[in-house]
Structure 1
């Protein structure tokens, strides 16, 4: 397979998954505010700052908007074309990648990408503000339909494996960001504001805690699956255990890493006791550590530090996938520090953060 085709398949899949996850975060946040409205003050901008922190775009957002609220955050994450991670930008880039390899994908896949792209062009901000539920449901359903069409109309060869690698690396990164930002940084601030309020009570604080943790599960479509495994009350330890370490739920970190590992190893021929390249080594190391990690181990390291380290390791895996399969280079003359190098972007010979490389190529 041509590296150009593999790279376009990879980024087409990654951008679709990113758009779906952004829609999930926004949809759940709107519903979270409705649930909290009767028991606590919901105009706190912290509820909206969290969504920007998940995408690591706070500086760019502050350059464009003066405050955090439903209108500004929705505009930035859905419509703003200056934000490369907005839903509109992601679907546009997914469509461009699909168009560049239209002869390599099925007509049904192209039709689905194209339909969603034109749907987004026809939607207005006012429509989203008036009926966010219908809009975000359309984005999520379109992503599910695209994945189903891909699985059923695209040959399960190397190209399909690159699609799976992209999907599961992106999913792992998004779940880690969601847990880290929304419930390690935001929740303590909310609790402190409740404790300072004269009207706050332990019952209110406990209710907010439960609703917030349910929102985390809903963001991953995991609430029903969680309840089937853990029949007791909503408990943060069990939620983190389920979303990070569970090997059977398709949106947990452990499951996603295993799925990405399987796809990488199918392409290279690596096995449990023999890795072929650096990408296989790094993903195999991560999978092995997750297999033997307990929630107590995560707490002993610190949840924030653990997830930040995981996100950095995902970046390294992505870099190595790029260097191994997509970058135009001669391996024998790569510099000795190639493992630490960021991938070539194709723009004036420069280098940039690997997750933005394809976006810069499209500009």
Structure 2
């Protein structure tokens, strides 16, 4: 497989997953405010700022908008092309990657991705504000349909493995960021009760954290008692059967990498497999007590940094353009292949935000 095809498959999948996660977080936040509206004021910026902290850069947001509210945050995370993490930007870049390898993917995959792109072009901010539920449901359903089409119409070869790697690395990163921000805000807010989650506001907010990962129903089936922060951490970080937990995502990404390299549990073939194998082993033997003792934020920051290192090594190993190290005496003979029109092939997306 050509490295440019593998890279485009990886980023196509990763950007689609990013768009779905953004839509999921915004949808849950709107529903959270509806639930809280009858018992507490919901016009405080703290109900919107965490979304920017999870999905993008607060400094960049502050340079474009005056305050954190429903209109500004929605515009920034949905429509703003200056924000590389907005839904419109993510789907646009996923489409560009798919278009560059249209001969390598199924026609159904391209049709689904192209339909979603044109749907976003036709939607106005006023429509989203008037009916956010329908809009975000459309994005989430489109992502689920795309993943189902990919699994059923795309050969499960090396290309499919790169699609899985992109999806699960992005999912693990988003989950870590969400838990980091939300857990820190909820546990450091002024306590009005002796128990952190005894108040109705706290319970609703912890439920929103689970809903952001589509985990509320699955969590209830495992933990029948009241919602507890330690149980939520255990489920969203360490549970190996829930497909949106961090541990499950890392394990799935590792299996996809093994399909490509041929590594095994006791033998790694390259540095990418070593890094993700080390992270998977640490997650396998971690406990909630150890996470709390170390500190939730430091633990999740290590995961985020580890995922970034895996992404960097993945790029260097499979996607990067490698020039010859030894040049012959005749410099003209040492020039590498430069692609069409004598220009160097622009295959790398390393400058894009991972």
Could you say whether these structures have the same fold, taking a TM-score greater than 0.5 normalized by the shorter chain as the test? yes
Match 2:220 to one of 223, 227, 246: 227
In the alignment, which residue of structure 2 is the partner of 1:48? 48
Displacement of 1:38 in angstroms is: 1.3
Counterpart-to-counterpart distance in 1, 2:307 and 2:323: 24
Q: Distance in 2 between matches of 1:295 and 1:256?
A: 18
Against the structure 1 CA distance between its residues 280 and 332, is the aligned structure 2 distance closer, same or farther, given a 3 Å change threshold?
farther
Question: Which segments of 5 or more consecutive residues in structure 1 lack a partner in the other structure?
Answer: 334-347
Q: Secondary structure at the match of 2:20?
A: helix
**Residue number in structure 2 paired with 1:175:** 175
Instruction: Tell me, yes or no, if structure 1 residue 321 matches structure 2 residue 295.
Output: no
Conserved in 1, the CA contact under 8 Å of 2:197 and 2:228? no
Q: Check if 1:260 corresponds to 2:253.
A: yes
Alignment pair present for 1:291 and 2:290? no
TM-score by length of 2: 0.91
- Pick closer, same or farther for the CA change 1:237–1:203 going to 2, 3 Å: closer
Corresponding residue pairs, total:
335
Q: Which residue of 1 aligns with 2:186?
A: 187
How has the CA–CA distance of structure 1 residues 57 and 203 changed in structure 2, closer, same or farther, with 3 Å as cutoff? closer
Unaligned runs of 5+ in 2: 327-342
The Cα shift of 1:183 comes to: 2.4
Distance in 2, Cα, partners of 1:226 & 1:99: 39
2:351 is the alignment partner of 1:357:
yes
What is aligned with 1:86?
A: 86
**RMSD between aligned alpha carbons?**
2.1
Q: CA contact under 8 A between 1:180 and 1:303: conserved in structure 2?
A: yes
CA contact (8 A) 1:40 1:204 kept: no
CA contact (8 A) 2:20 2:139 kept: yes
Equivalents in 2 of 1:68, 1:357: separation in Å? Answer: 28
Tell me the SS of whatever aligns to 2:84.
coil
CA, structure 1 residues 103+304, in 2 after alignment: closer, same or farther (shift >3 Å)? same
Q: Is the 8 A contact 1:275 1:281 kept in 2?
A: yes
Larger-gyration structure (1/2): 2
Which position in structure 2 is the counterpart of 1:339?
none
How much has 1:170 moved relative to structure 2? 0.1
Q: CA deviation at 1:187?
A: 1.9
- Matched position secondary structure for 1:41: coil
Find the aligned partners of 2:82 and 2:52 in 1 and give their Cα distance.
14
